[in-house]
Chain A
Amino acid sequence: SQQGEEDPQALSIQEGENATMNCSYKTSINNLQWYRQNSGRGLVHLILIRSNEREKHSGRLRVTLDTSKKSSSLLITASRAADTASYFCATAHLGGGFKTIFGAGTRLFVKA
């Protein structure tokens, strides 16, 4: 399969709660990125974490990377209804112009 795996596939939470999404991949990477996509729209880049980094923060976002387990997590704290979207991890692989492969995505629904 071209894609890495993400879980959960769908997540429904109340506004104010935290949302955690996980991503696993198969081969060595240069970096891992998280993107957000609202229905039928393009992608919005959220955060990039390099293979030699373990954790990164950006506002309410926290990303971790465990290269030994080939996995990453995205935590959104104090979620808002406006966070409702699909979230994808994408891994840039060594060689081939850093070909970037997307995970299956998590559909997040935040209830007001």
Chain B
Amino acid sequence: GAVVSQHPSWVICKSGTSVKIECRSLDFQATTMFWYRQFPKQSLMLMATSNEGSKATYEQGVEKDKFLINHASLTLSTLTVTSAHPEDSSFYICSARDSGGRMSTGELFFGEGSRLTVL
């Protein structure tokens, strides 16, 4: 199956710093990627839809200035948590849909997630 690589898998940072998380589709092109956030023992909440070459579409209640998304190429989307605070500590997961021949399947391919801890 298609592979989505997410990096880093875990990160610890001090309050007030910014953290960048990368999401790469390794063997397919993805014009659309999705970023999710998951708190312990809860489900995944969609934060935003990342569109290659254009602005991301954020879900209601998600601060776009807080969570900066850049999708500069067909294989890479980045999420930057700016001025991170302890309440931003969470598990962030990206996913991508194959824009090529497999797009019609609708299947999403997920990264392994990035666990952010803000001290």
Which residues on A are within 8 Å of B, measured CB to CB? 2-3, 30-31, 33, 35, 40-43, 45, 48, 50, 88, 90, 92, 96-105, 107
Residue of B nearest to A89 (CB): B43
Q: Please count how many residues in chain B sit with their CB below 8 Å of the partner chain's CB atoms.
A: 30
B46 is contacted by which of A33, A35, A99 (Cβ under 8 Å)?
A: A99
Interface-side segment among B13-21, B80-88, B90-98: B90-98
Grouping DSSP codes into helix (H, G, I), strand (E, B) and loop, the B interface class, with mixed when no group exceeds half, is: strand
Given A42-B111, A97-B97 in contact, is the A30-B106 Cβ separation under 8 Å?
A: yes
Q: A99 touching B106 by the CB < 8 A rule?
A: no
Residue numbers in B under 8 Å from A104 (CB-CB): 42-43
A112–B44 Cα distance when bound, in Å, is: 29
Give chain B nearest CB distance to A25 CB in angstroms: 13
B95 is contacted by which of A2, A88, A100, A107 (Cβ under 8 Å)?
A: A100
Which residues on B are within 8 Å of A, measured CB to CB? 1, 6, 31-32, 34, 36, 41-46, 49, 51, 57, 59, 91, 93, 95, 97, 105-113, 115
Residue of B nearest to A51 (CB): B106
Give chain B nearest CB distance to A36 CB in angstroms: 11
Give chain A nearest CB distance to B56 CB in angstroms: 11
Residue of B nearest to A101 (CB): B46
Give chain A nearest CB distance to B37 CB in angstroms: 11
Q: A96 touching B46 by the CB < 8 A rule?
A: no
Residue of A nearest to B9 (CB): A42
A96–B35 Cα distance when bound, in Å, is: 14
Q: B43 touching A97 by the CB < 8 A rule?
A: no
Q: A102 touching B44 by the CB < 8 A rule?
A: yes
Q: B43 touching A103 by the CB < 8 A rule?
A: yes
List 16 extra interface pairs beyond A33-B108, A41-B112, A101-B46, CB under 8 A. Answer: A2-B59, A3-B45, A30-B106, A42-B112, A42-B113, A43-B93, A43-B95, A45-B110, A48-B105, A88-B43, A88-B44, A98-B106, A102-B43, A102-B46, A104-B43, A105-B42
